[in-house]
Amino acid sequence: MADELNLSNLQPAQPRKARKRVGRGLGSGKGRYSGRGIKGQKSRAGSHRMRAGFEGGQMPLAMRLPKLRGNTSRDAMPVGPFRTYTQPVNLRDLDRFEAGEEVTPESLKAKGLIRSIRKDVKLLGVGELTKKLTITVHAASATAREKVEAAGGTLTLLKEPKVKKARKPRTVPAAAPDDDEPEAVAEPGAAEAEAEPETEESED
């Protein structure tokens, strides 16, 4: 066969491009400054190993934008003593369990649905559940609870859900009397006339 593959006609499937060899004389096309130009930051050794977000020395964007201070803020980064993290598990992920099987954080870890049993697990209601399962997790959404009970299963929480306190209605203080308005002064004798009405004397 003319097209038989052997060592004499062995070649790569795609043509390979030779690497650029810099600093090999002016006749090579990449001599003298090796394609880096004259002076400047980009002409120095190690100049292309800049950290992510480096903008040449000017104020970076992450520092120019406003920020919410305090590690306990609702919109702050997930740090601080009051920030929590839960591992979400959807109902559609429970298809790996057989009917009547018990679902716990340990069994979820064994099935590969969560990474760690040291973090809380929250059951979410995405998907449908057609099996009767006994589920024990740290938290669950209202939709997930309804679907689990509709399928005949039971749901037990390892932590009691936090009850939000009802906000008190805001009361508007009564308007204080204006000091600029003059007080009404009663005329002398008016109160006596109202208290003691005149009576007509009867003639005998």
Q: Please name the amino acid found at residue 4.
A: E
DSSP per position, 140-198: E-HHHHHHHHHTT-EEEESSPPPPPPPPPPPPPPPPPPPTTSPPPPPPTTHHHHHHS--
Tens-place pLDDT, residues 8-50: 988 888 988 889 999 999 999 999 999 999 999 999 999 889 9
pLDDT at 149 over 90: yes
Q: Hey, which residues does 105 pair with through a beta bridge?
A: none
Residue 103 belongs to what H/E stretch? strand 102-103
What pLDDT, in 10s, does the model give residues 136-145? 999 999 999 9
**What are the boundaries of each domain within the chain?**
86-157
Q: Which CATH class is domain 86-157?
A: alpha beta
Task: Quote the pTM value.
Answer: 0.46
Helix (H, G, I), strand (E, B) or coil at 64: helix
| pLDDT 10s digits, 93-110 | 999 999 888 999 999 999
